[in-house]
Structure 1
Amino acid sequence: MESKGARYAKGFIPFGSFVITDGRFVTGQSPGSGKEVAQALLKALQNNKPQ
């Protein structure tokens, strides 16, 4: 995927929290990221509300 232009990032601590947000796309590295993914998703949805 990187050869097609995708950017890759990972956390330093295995099973620790690591969240990436790009616009409305939110992803977490492991189950330990669940709370932070939910918070980032809510923030992304609030920032993209129709006016």
Structure 2
Amino acid sequence: MAPDPRSMEWQTDGELSATDLHDLVNRLQRVDADANSSELARMSRVVDDAA
């Protein structure tokens, strides 16, 4: 089940908090096609590096 956007922590600049973004990317990786999985993995690493 996808997270409810209303329950996510949004920063004042309009970005998701690092934790919520990481959780969202992980959920998307579980359901997305293999073709997009590598891009989602890259996004996850960027999030991990920023945290």
TM-score, normalised with respect to structure 1: 0.43
Higher helix share: 2
- Higher relative CO (CA 8 A, sep ≥ 6), structure 1 or 2? 2
TM-score, length-normalised on structure 2? 0.43
Write 1 or 2 for the structure with the bigger share of strand.
1
Is the radius of gyration larger for structure 1 or structure 2?
Answer: 1
